[in-house]
Amino acid sequence: MTEAIGAQGYVFAGVGLVMAFAAVRLVTTKNLVHGALYLVVTLLGAAVVFLLTLAEFVAWVQVLIYVGAVIVLILFGLMLTKAPLGPTAFDNEQRGLAALVAALIFALTSSVTWTAFEGKTIDFDTAFGVEAVGQELFTTMVLPFEVVSVLLLAALVGAVILAKRDDD
Amino acid sequence: MPVQWLLLLSAFLFSVGIYGVLARRNAVIVLMSIEVMLNAVNLNLVAFNAMLKDAAVVGQIFALFVITIAAAELGVGLAIVILIYRNRTTVSIDEVSLMKW
User: How many residues would you count in chain B?
Assistant: 101
What residues in B contact A141, CB-CB < 8 Å?
61
Q: What is the model's pLDDT at position A4? A: 62
Q: Report the CATH fold assignment for B3-95.
A: Helix Hairpins (1.10.287)
Q: Which of B1, B7, B67 sits opposite A12 (nearest CB)?
A: B1
What residues in A contact B42, CB-CB < 8 Å?
46, 50, 58, 62
Residue spans of alpha helices (H) in chain A: 2-28, 32-52, 56-61, 71-80, 95-116, 130-137, 142-163
Q: Could you give the CA distance from residue B25 to residue A89 in angstroms, rounded to a whole number?
A: 9
What residues in A contact B95, CB-CB < 8 Å?
none
Q: What is the model's pLDDT at position A167? A: 66
Domain ranges of chain B: 3-95
Q: Could you give the CA distance from residue B2 to residue A123 in angstroms, rounded to a whole number?
A: 9
pLDDT higher than 80, residue B17: yes
What residues in B contact A115, CB-CB < 8 Å?
none
Q: Could you give the CA distance from residue B76 to residue B58 in angstroms, rounded to a whole number?
A: 27
- Give the distance from residue A53's alpha carbon to the nearest chain B alpha carbon, in angstroms: 6
Q: What is the model's pLDDT at position A59? A: 92
Between positions 93 and 122 of A, the ones with CB within 8 A of B are: 94-95, 97-99, 101-103, 105-106, 109-110, 113-114, 117-122
Q: Which residues of A13-27 are buried (b: 16+ CB within 10 A; e: fewer)?
A: eebbeebbebbbbbb
On whether the CB atoms of residues B81 and A77 are closer than 8 A, the answer is yes
Q: Rounded mean pLDDT of B33-52?
A: 92
Q: Which of B13, B49, B67 sits opposite A62 (nearest CB)?
A: B67
Helix (H) or strand (E) holding B85: helix B58-88
Distances (CA, A) of A21 to A17, A18, A38, A68: 6, 5, 9, 22
Do the chains contact at B64 and A126, CB–CB below 8 Å? no
A79 touches chain B (CB under 8 A): no
A133 touches chain B (CB under 8 A): yes
CA angle A85, A165, B99 (to 5 degrees): 75
Distances (CA, A) of A39 to A64, A118, A140, B37, B60: 15, 31, 34, 12, 22
Q: Could you give the CA distance from residue B52 to residue B54 in angstroms, rounded to a whole number?
A: 5
Q: What is the pLDDT along chain A (168 residues), one digit of tens a residue?
A: 445 677 888 888 999 999 999 999 998 888 888 889 999 999 999 999 999 888 889 999 999 998 888 999 898 888 888 767 667 776 777 888 889 999 999 999 999 988 888 888 887 777 778 888 888 889 988 999 999 999 999 999 998 888 787 765
Do the chains contact at B49 and A128, CB–CB below 8 Å? yes
pLDDT digits (tens, 9 = 90+) for B46-97: 999 888 887 778 889 999 999 999 999 999 999 988 888 888 887 787 777 7
Classified as helix, coil or strand, B24 is strand
User: End-to-end distance of chain A based on CA atoms, in angstroms?
Assistant: 66
- Give the distance from residue A43's alpha carbon to the nearest chain B alpha carbon, in angstroms: 8
Query: Which residues touch B38 (CB under 8 Å, ≥6 apart)?
Result: B66, B67, B70
- Give the distance from residue A85's alpha carbon to the nearest chain B alpha carbon, in angstroms: 13
pTM of the model: 0.90
Question: What are the structural domains, with CATH classification, of chain A?
Answer: 2-87+114-126 (1.20.120.1200)
